[in-house]
A and B are shown apart, each in its own frame.
Chain A
Amino acid sequence: MIIPYLGVLIIVGLVGFMGVMSFFASFIMRPRNPYAEKLTPWECGMEPVGEANAGHFRVHYFIIAILFIVFDVETLFLFPWATLLTDKGLSGFIFIEMIVFVAILAIGFIYAWVKGALEWV
């Protein structure tokens, strides 16, 4: 049934609308007095050097993101299994599947750990 998800659409639209309206109300009420120093990024009063968003950040964030995708997809696969857990006709199959799946997860996790992907120095 699609009707339960109608609420999501309305809530997103309503909150987006209220947010834009708040921006607009603030836009017509607030003072506007910019000058060059005010519009520089805040760096404790020093002159900013270089571009901040040129992409110079640690590769470690990237590794964490990859690990996250792997684990998040794997947890997603566990949801249907968890709902069927106490189905009596399937219990033997579920029992073996549980061991195998968690073992695969654990092997991947141990590999990442041994390779040092989880170290944050």
Chain B
Amino acid sequence: MPDTATILTVIAIVVKVVIATMVIFSLPLPLTWIERKVAGHIQVRLGPWRVGPHGLLQPVADTIKLLFKEDIVPAKADKFLFWLAPLMAMVPAFAVFAAIPIGDTVMVPIINQEIALYIADMNVGILYILAIGGLGIYGIILGGWASNSKYALLGGLRSSAQMISYEIAISFAAIGVVMMSNSLSLVEIVRSQNHGIFSWNFFYLPVGPVWFAIFFIGSLAEINRIPFDLPEDEGTLSSGYITEYSGMKFSFFMLAEYVAMVSVSILAVIMFFGGWNSPFPFTIGLPSILADLLALIWFFGKVCFFIYLFMWLRFTLPRYRYDHLMVIGWKILIPLSLVTLLVTGFMRIIG
């Protein structure tokens, strides 16, 4: 018979998982609206405008449309894998959040309980995220293969080759962060950066910015965003692996992409920009509830900045050619990360 504390922990985990899943599931609604608004304003037009005030109900209209849209399965497709692939793409994108913290433990005043703002503080957090994030490739390559369409097959192959190439660079960047923070747990990594802006891993000069550049370029390619959105290169591949998909299945691939963008933004903030720590090295004597609130504001402010950065890049840069993409991944990022690995090692051992 488990004791009361264990039961409470389990209940807390279940409640947090349900809340997190619901929030993440509905997150693409505002994100698609924001993305199209950002696109509109960057290109000097209005963006969504007709449905609701400022087009605010546009995502709802899109959802209804996708729900009622006919689901076309090509006659020669592998029916089961065609159905399974969107789920295989979506589930890992969500499962990553089981290890992602959004804050430290906080004292909630009314119920007088310590609540941890993470589902689980895994001691192998970074490793878990890399492993589960890598599973998303299965959804893409299965979707491309099961469609039995040439564009979809080529898109799926290209996409998986691109993602596995850049996953090495991301793993190296994660090793760099582990070297600078001496822990694999994401909560510990944030705690190691709590002495103001110059204790953030980004400002571990001279290697911090290099690791961040490797991580950022790698994650741009990993989540298939412009300038590395070769899988959806409409000029040569129509829509890549989602060519044959429609309706709900198509929307699940899109959902996975947006969720991946959010998780990568959160990871960039946690690994390089101090997570929920403020950039000031001193603490002013705030009551603890206000300090906790301020930490959350810092965290979400940084995350929003990164999400905006991804959108900004999408509507600013042109797309790379595929061989250039492979050259950047294999011939620039990997040698660069090997050299940076040595330099960081020297600095940590000697310093």
Contact = CB atoms under 8 A, between A and B. Distances in A.
B265 to A, nearest CB: 19
B243 interface: yes
Contacts of B147: 41, 52
Contacts of B238: 42, 44
A116 B81 CA distance: 35
A4 B171 contact: no
Contacts of A18: 21, 25
Interface centre among A12, A22, A109 (most CB of B within 10 A): A22
Interface stretch (B29-37, B118-126, B196-204, B310-318): B118-126
Contacts of A33: 70
A72 B171 contact: yes
Given A4-B121, A25-B67, A82-B175, A42 B149 contact: yes
Contact of B70 (A31, A52, A68, A121): A31
Interface in A63-93: 64-65, 67-68, 71-72, 75-76, 78-79, 82-83, 85-86, 91
A30 B91 contact: no
Please classify the interface of chain A as helix (H, G, I), strand (E, B), loop, or mixed, using the class held by over half of its residues. helix
Kindly state the interface size class of chain A when it binds its partner: 35 or more
Nearest to B158: A61
Nearest to A64: B161
A32 to B, nearest CB: 7
Interface in B163-185: 164-165, 167-168, 171-172, 175, 178-179, 182-184
Nearest to B154: A57
B261 interface: no
